[in-house]
């Protein structure tokens, strides 16, 4: 890590701290303590929230939160009710008055955002927004996790639905998914992994047994909004580690010629193109990597 990179990040943090401080100040100027405002904000943003989650999210002591809520109830901003499925737990929702207050905070955030864009010309505005999107994606990519999950689980199905839809659109021939093979993509000689960022599934990949000591990588997919951040590379790394643990000595995979970005990825991770090893009608290239 270079010193000038660290300095740039620090300058950036310092600059943004001021901007963010300005927002907190304007929250306070609405005449409500900051922690009360934060409760209204969280409850409003999610359309109601369990106290347990709220406490975790704001890092508040349970006694403190309890008192905050009583104050907000007394002022008519929130209503707290038992949860029907668990009588110990409770849930806050905003009243009509609370929603008004939430809207006011919402307008303040909006105003801050506008004030950052307002002094810029159209071209510079586009550049600012693009750079913010880039930073957001990169920072969120830092929370990337890749873990084994069932290939017929909810997250897996969510990813695969989008994967198939994308293949259907990109392949010159269209695409029809073959028979369900979730059972193959599971231990002891296979696996399915889901990549998540902040809890949201953003990618997946499968591994199955192809032949003795040979695994096959399948269904590697990254959400379009998260491409270029190393998600697919992390998925491959995970699958390769799993394959090694399961005793595979080499990995193979096939790919369609329209998926050009995948070629670069496989080449970069040490896969070498080999001769056709299957009769997949959608495949144009075949790769292999020794583990």
Partner DNA sequence: ACAATTATCTGACTAAAGTCAGATAATGCA
Partner DNA sequence: TGCATTATCTGACTTTAGTCAGATAATTGT
Select from 87-95, 129-137, 205-213, 247-255 the region that touches its own copies (CB under 8 A): 129-137
> Under rule CB under 7 A, which residues in 84-103 are in contact with DNA?
85-90
Q: Tell me how far apart the alpha carbons of residues 190 and 58 are, in angstroms, rounded to a whole number.
A: 41
Q: Tell me how far apart the alpha carbons of residues 197 and 174 are, in angstroms, rounded to a whole number.
A: 30
- The answer to the question of residue 120 lying near its own copies (CB under 8 A) is yes
String of contacts with its own copies for each residue 224-263, x by CB under 8 A: -----xx---------------------------------
Minimum CB distance to its own copies smaller for 153 or for 230: 230
- The answer to the question of residue 43 lying near DNA (CB under 7 A) is no
204 touches 217 (CB < 8 A): no
What separation, in Å, do the N-terminal and C-terminal C-alpha atoms of the chain show?
29
DSSP, collapsed to helix, strand or coil, labels residue 83 as coil
**Strand order across the beta sheet in which 250-255 lies:** 144-148, 191-197, 200-211, 214-222, 250-255, 285-290, 272-274
- The answer to the question of residue 51 lying near DNA (CB under 7 A) is yes
Which of the choices DNA, its own copies, none does residue 67 contact, using the CB cut-off of 5 to 8 A by kind? DNA
Q: Which of 65, 78, 207, 229 binds DNA (CB under 7 A)?
A: 65
Q: How far is the CB of 72 from its own copies (least distance, A)?
A: 21
> Under rule CB under 8 A, which residues in 143-162 are in contact with its own copies?
144
Select from 107-115, 168-176, 200-208, 239-247 the region that touches its own copies (CB under 8 A): 107-115
195: nearest Cα among 264, 149, 243, 151: 149
Q: Tell me how far apart the alpha carbons of residues 106 and 79 are, in angstroms, rounded to a whole number.
A: 20
> Residue 187: phi, psi to the nearest 5?
-55, 155
| Positions in the binding site for its own copies (CB under 8 A) | 1, 5-17, 19-20, 23, 25, 59, 109-110, 112-114, 116-121, 124-129, 131-136, 138-142, 144, 229-230
């Amino acid at each position: 890590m270079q010193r000038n990179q660290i300095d740039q990040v620090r300058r950036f943090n310092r600059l943004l701290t001021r901007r963010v401080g300005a927002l907190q100040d304007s929250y306070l100027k609405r005449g409500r303590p900051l922690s009360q405002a934060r409760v209204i904000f969280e409850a409003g943003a999610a359309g109601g929230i369990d106290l347990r989650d709220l406490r975790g999210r704001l890092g508040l002591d349970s006694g403190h939160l309890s008192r905050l809520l009583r104050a907000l109830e007394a002022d008519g901003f929130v209503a707290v009710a038992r949860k029907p499925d668990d009588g110990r737990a409770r849930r806050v929702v905003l009243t009509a008055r609370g929603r008004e207050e939430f809207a006011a905070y919402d307008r303040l955030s909006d105003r801050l955002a506008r004030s950052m864009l307002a002094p810029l010309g159209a071209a510079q505005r586009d550049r600012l927004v693009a750079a913010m999107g880039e930073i957001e994606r990169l920072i969120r990519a830092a929370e990337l996790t890749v873990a084994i999950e069932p290939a017929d689980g909810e997250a897996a199905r969510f990813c695969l639905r989008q994967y198939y839809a994308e293949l259907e659109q990109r392949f010159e021939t269209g695409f029809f998914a073959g028979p369900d093979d979730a059972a193959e993509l599971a231990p002891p000689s296979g696996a399915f992994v889901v990549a998540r960022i902040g809890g949201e599934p953003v990618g997946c990949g499968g591994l199955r047994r192809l032949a003795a000591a040979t695994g096959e990588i399948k269904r590697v997919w990254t959400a379009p909004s998260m491409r270029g951040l190393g998600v697919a590379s992390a998925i491959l790394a995970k699958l390769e580690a799993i394959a090694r643990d399961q005793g595979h000595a080499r990995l193979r995979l096939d790919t369609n010629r329209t998926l050009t970005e995948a070629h670069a990825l496989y080449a970069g991770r040490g896969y070498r193109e080999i001769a056709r090893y299957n009769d997949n009608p959608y495949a144009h290239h075949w790769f292999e990597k020794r583990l």
